Amino acid sequence: MFDIDPSLLDDPEFKEDSVREEIIVPILKRLGYTASGTNKIVRSKALLHPFVMIGSKKHPVNIIPDYLLYAEGRPALILDAKRPDTDLVKSKHTEQAYSYAIHPDVRVRFYALCNGRQLVAFDIYQIDPIFVVKFADIESKWEVIKSVLSPRNIAFAAERYFAPDFGVAIIKMGFAPGDSWLFPFGKFSEILQIEDDLFSLYANFQISEIDHLASFDVSRDIFMDILSFTDKENRKSIMRQLKPGAIVYTERPILVCLETVIGKPTQGQQEVFVPLIIKR
C-alpha cells in the first residue's frame, strides 16, 4: 500500500504534510473515500464557534483536523495527521480531536489520529481506543481497520445511539479523576440504592447541546442531607421505595447544588462510565 522507506519516519523533516500525503491518503483511498459523492473527503473544516459548551462553561477547540469524512452522505469520522513523535493515545491532541468530534457543527461518533508510526481510532462513547495499529502492521491488520473505518461499517455503527456518559466526556476533554466539579443546578429524579451506605443519583447535563447522563455516587449521610431539599411527601415516597438494587423515581425532582470530584472509570454491563463522587 505504501511506497515509502519506514526509516523516513525518523527524519525530522517528515512532518504532518508527509504523513498526510504518504500514509493517510492511500489509507483513505483503499477504504473507499473519494473527493466527491456520498463517501467524500472534506479537508480542514473550520468551526464557526471554536468551543463546546459544558453546561454554561466554554471549552475551547483549538484544532482543525485534516479530514472530515462522510459515510453514506453524513459526517461520520474525523482524521488528523500528526508528526511521528506525537503521542496519539493520551495527549492534548487526542482531547482536542474529541472536542472537535462532538462540536455541534460536526457531530461524528468516531475520530482517528495518525502520526505515521501509528493509526489510532476512537469512539466518543469510550475512553480507550478502538484500536492502535503500528505502521508495520497496517497490512496485516487491514481487516480490523476496515471493519471500523470503512464508509459502510462506520455509517452503520453511527446509527446506534445511547445517551453518552457525562464523566467519560469530561475525562476525554482532559479532566482527571480527583478533579473537583461543581453542579450549581442539579435536578434529580432517579435514584439507585447500591448498598446500605451507597446510593447513586442520575441526571442529564448538556455538553455541546447533547444530553449526557451523569451518575453521582453518594454516602448515606450526604444522601439524607440531599433529601432534606425536597418536600416531606416526596421524601417519604422515596424512603418507602428504597432497597438495594432498586431504582426509585421521585414524584418531584430534587433541586440541589453539589460539590463533587470526578471518580475513576468503571466498567458497567455494556459500557464504561465515570461517576461523580458527591462531597457536599
Give domain limits for the chain: 6-158, 166-278
Mean pLDDT of all residues in 26-51: 88
pTM tops 0.75, yes or no: no
Quote the mean pLDDT of the chain.
87
CATH number of the domain at 6-158, please?
A: 3.90.1570.30
Q: What was the pLDDT predicted at 159?
A: 62
**pLDDT grade for 4, boundaries at 50, 70 and 90:** low
Mean pLDDT of 203-218: 88
Looking at residues 53-77, what average pLDDT do you find? 83
User: In the predicted model, what is the mean pLDDT of residues 56-60?
Assistant: 73
CA distance 264 to 262: 7
DSSP secondary structure letters along the chain: ---S-GGGGG-TT--HHHHIIIIIHHHHHHHT-BSSSTTBEEE----SS-EEEETTEEEE-----SEEEEETTEEEEEEEE--TT---SSSHHHHHHHHHHTSTTT--SEEEEE-SSEEEEEETT-SS-SEEEEGGGTTTTHHHHHHHHSHHHHHHHHT---PPBHHHHHHHTT--TT-EEEEEEEEEEEEEEEETTEEEEEEEEEETTEEEEEEEEEEHHHHHHHHTTS-HHHHHHHHHH--TT-EEEEEEEEEEEEEEEE---EE-SSSEE-PEEE--
pLDDT, residue 261, reads 95
pLDDT on residue 224: 93
The percentage of the chain sitting over the pLDDT mark of 90, rounded to a whole number, equals: 42
Question: What is the tens place of the pLDDT at every residue in 67-104?
Answer: 999 999 999 999 999 988 889 888 888 988 998 888 88
d(C-alpha 35, C-alpha 249), whole Å = 51
Confidence grade of residue 270 (pLDDT, cut at 50, 70, 90)? low
Structure-model confidence comparison of residues 26 and 1, the more confident one:
26
Amino acid at 55: G
41-43/198-207 β-pairing: unpaired
As a CATH number, domain 166-278 is 2.40.50
Q: Quick one: pLDDT at residue 156?
A: 79
